Structure 1
């Protein structure tokens, strides 16, 4: 019997299913094959190669951002130079006679640009190495209600805006500082070269004092240590700052007003620990010999702390440090640690500043922490008052450090090395019962080093230190430089 029409149609429908299913399967397998082939080429293709071009360039220290090392050019992304920076220095006519001497130490007429902003006219001589002097605008229209501060804070907070209005050309960064702040300008250039000056940047550092940071903010750049503002951010600040200042009459200082305006502009602080507020009292030795692995950019409160070189006037002491920085500004005050295993001495070097020798073997982890040779901002012996780790000054008479301060630095053309001479600081050292050689028998330490202007274009790392064979009684010889492969500080 012939099938019904509906049965025939159903038969044709079922008989076509294997054909359609096979086509779909082949299509799926084809796509899967193409997928595997495509991603195999991505996963296993050879890594791209990059050609590095070596260029020879004559440059000043501030232009050493692009440098040559081992026949390879290491170039940072942004080619900021000293001429791209405009300094705005806040000064007081009452303290001008003393404070201007700090300015003279680091200002370079014809190289540095900017202005000093004063509240009243002062007298200067024609040949003094100083920035242009300007009087700040009248700020009497602004309210100031803080009972513990001074309304000069309003004037100082407007320094960046007033410097912008001077109309200097080709400025990428405005750097604010006080008249008792000194800058290592080569290192300032190195720091700012890491950042895109076309973006909004507010760069600086907080206080060393935990209490000061709590009182003001851990997100505020303390003005005495200095801070940098990129040009486009300075333009935006200048447009709104006077309105902003009216909203904060109860704030204490200039830097917290600046921070308040930055918050309104939605710009956070970019922290760079090389800016130093120095909210401490006493001897900076412990802080400086354990400097963080970052360029030394600034030092503030020089009238508050002891002279960094004992026995020298404060200004002469800073000048002495800057003389050493001329030979290797990138490495100034950078820490190196090594051991004289035969004598069982730990040696802590702060390049261009001081060397400490301690009897016994102390671990690098301990030595890299600042010893509390200083008091906190509120003059209390409270180790919890600092915003960083510290270690106590030893009570063991045998482990009192023997301190050797930098005496002179020069460049030896024959050896192509910098030679630093460090001499023992003569003071009364306590009697020690330990049966080991006393560092007091060493009068002089000679440090050999090559300039390393490109060190901050690489990953941060301390230099290695080695004790060299002695050729003269009473003299210790050290070599400092880049660590070699597999070089470790062995205890």
Structure 2
């Protein structure tokens, strides 16, 4: 048995391990070994292949679903991480905005004239909420008129007893409950608030309407902001609330109002509820409460570098253009310059006529101021105190922004030129056809004190003509004042000014 085992083992040895024997018998034996070895190796290979196949099949059974899920999840990453609200959407249009207007039945006949200035019933949706029924004859083109819900069950303990604040604060919720479709923003204002709707859209498009946003502005009176809140959007200046935030507010508002009976008005109640929701005020400088008295020239001629969105309290200040009513003044502003280039309305530019040592400040579409002497831009962009504080006993320290005094030196009193006309000018060149806006400003014939400076007085100018290309994408860029350049005029009594985007390296040097 041992011998037979040795024989088999010898036959399984590698050929190179078998001693070479030249005999014929050994040669014959050597030739038979490779066949046996080949069969054996083939057999082992088949077993190895079968085993490998089984192993792979087993791994597919256990790991296949995981691999499939992994690949599937990778393929689904864009859909998982980008919600429907984050998918690219068309820009916000007026049809996506619903206006809620707080109005008084006693003042309706007069105040509705302000609404007619800006509201377009063919493009906009809105509701006027009144405290009582009114006659609605000749009200075509105005928003829908409704009566606010009863608020007598809400507690009110403020000593001034201004209970209308409760009614007005619920306008957001009452407008939401009307169930209007495809709403992105609710915009609130008073019946004497004037909206510049193109610029309102420019502001709203900066924000995601699917998120919680509460957008508005503060008062021009420091004391008003202290008494009420710097964190509050003043309702007369207007404010915007995104649709999902309006829904969240509606759920808590009535209970929230009950917790604040000592507050004064509507806008502070709105802000109190926003505080409970944890939503801060997003401030935009173009919402103007105008808690001031007097002449708005100083404020508007140095308008912040921000779109003009609203004006309020227009019955309590002088008309923005002299010698006309406030309604007529606003019609002049909104009829031509706003339609030609709404983005640039009231935007300030500062330049110099160095040959005559004049400083020229352009508030496009409104007014131009010419000063004797070369005044720095830092001073010119600061509003001149042509207006008084809301609290008349307060001095200039009662404003929450920098102001500068009206000059006492008679030579430094500005010559004011108010908008009189604006139109298109088609300028044909060899290279292209450019559309340019030409606006004219006539000198206001107000008496000027005698000045003994030995220099050309601005009274030699009767008309200022401003040439400007329309710039609807002004606010798509980083905020910056436009530049202006004084040009030579072939006509006596006319000053030519070019206004536009600042060129490379251009600054307002004096």
Q: Classify the TM-score, shorter chain.
A: 0.7 to 0.9
Aligned counterpart, 1:417: 436
State the secondary structure of the residue aligned to 1:169.
coil
1:289-345 CA-partner distances (Å, limit 9, x unpaired): 111100000000001111100111011111111122111000000000000000000
1:109–1:130 contact (8 Å) kept in structure 2: yes
Spell out the pairing of 1:123-142 with structure 2 (5 A cutoff). Answer: 123-126=135-138, 128-142=140-154
Aligned counterpart, 1:476: 495
Select between 169-178 and 124-133 the one with higher mean Cα deviation.
124-133
Tell me, yes or no, if structure 1 residue 362 matches structure 2 residue 375: yes
200, 203, 206: which is aligned to 1:194?
A: 206
1:78–1:194 contact (8 Å) kept in structure 2: no
Tell me, yes or no, if structure 1 residue 391 matches structure 2 residue 390: no
Go from structure 1 to structure 2 and tell me whether the alpha carbon gap of 1:365 and 1:215 turns closer, same or farther (over 3 Å shift): same
Aligned counterpart, 1:408: 421
Partner Cα distance (1:177, 1:149) in 2 = 21
Spell out the pairing of 1:50-449 with structure 2 (5 A cutoff). Answer: 79-126=91-138, 128-323=140-335, 324-380=337-393, 382-414=395-427, 416-449=435-468
Partner Cα distance (2:480, 2:383) in 1 = 18
The TM-score normalised by the length of structure 2 is: 0.80
Q: Which has the higher contact order (CA 8 A, sep 6+)?
A: 1
1:177–1:227 contact (8 Å) kept in structure 2: yes
Partner Cα distance (1:465, 1:117) in 2 = 44
**Structure 2 portions without partners, runs of 5+:** 1-87, 428-433
Partner Cα distance (1:338, 1:316) in 2 = 30
1:77–1:194 contact (8 Å) kept in structure 2: no
Tell me, yes or no, if structure 1 residue 489 matches structure 2 residue 505: no
1:389-441 CA-partner distances (Å, limit 9, x unpaired): 00000001001000000001111234611110100000110000000001011
Partner Cα distance (1:411, 1:109) in 2 = 27
RMSD value over aligned CA atoms?
1.2
Spell out the pairing of 1:31-42 with structure 2 (5 A cutoff). Answer: none
Aligned counterpart, 1:12: none
Task: After the TM superposition, list the runs of 4 or more consecutive aligned residues in structure 1 that deviate by more than 2 angstroms.
Answer: 124-129
Partner Cα distance (2:121, 2:92) in 1 = 19
Aligned counterpart, 1:467: 486
1:88–1:177 contact (8 Å) kept in structure 2: yes
1:88–1:160 contact (8 Å) kept in structure 2: yes
**Structure 1 portions without partners, runs of 5+:** 1-75
Partner Cα distance (1:488, 1:106) in 2 = 36
Partner Cα distance (1:232, 1:179) in 2 = 25
Go from structure 1 to structure 2 and tell me whether the alpha carbon gap of 1:437 and 1:189 turns closer, same or farther (over 3 Å shift): same
Q: CA deviation at 1:129?
A: 2.5
State the secondary structure of the residue aligned to 2:506.
coil
The TM-score normalised by the length of structure 1 is: 0.83
Q: CA deviation at 1:485?
A: 0.5
1:347-398 CA-partner distances (Å, limit 9, x unpaired): 0110000000000000000000000000000123611000000000000100
Partner Cα distance (2:423, 2:392) in 1 = 38
Partner Cα distance (1:126, 1:394) in 2 = 48
- More helix by percentage: 2
1:47-82 CA-partner distances (Å, limit 9, x unpaired): xxxxxxxxxxxxxxxxxxxxxxxxxxxxx9871111
State the secondary structure of the residue aligned to 2:340.
coil
1:78–1:195 contact (8 Å) kept in structure 2: no
Partner Cα distance (2:141, 2:383) in 1 = 35
Tell me, yes or no, if structure 1 residue 457 matches structure 2 residue 476: yes
Go from structure 1 to structure 2 and tell me whether the alpha carbon gap of 1:267 and 1:381 turns closer, same or farther (over 3 Å shift): closer
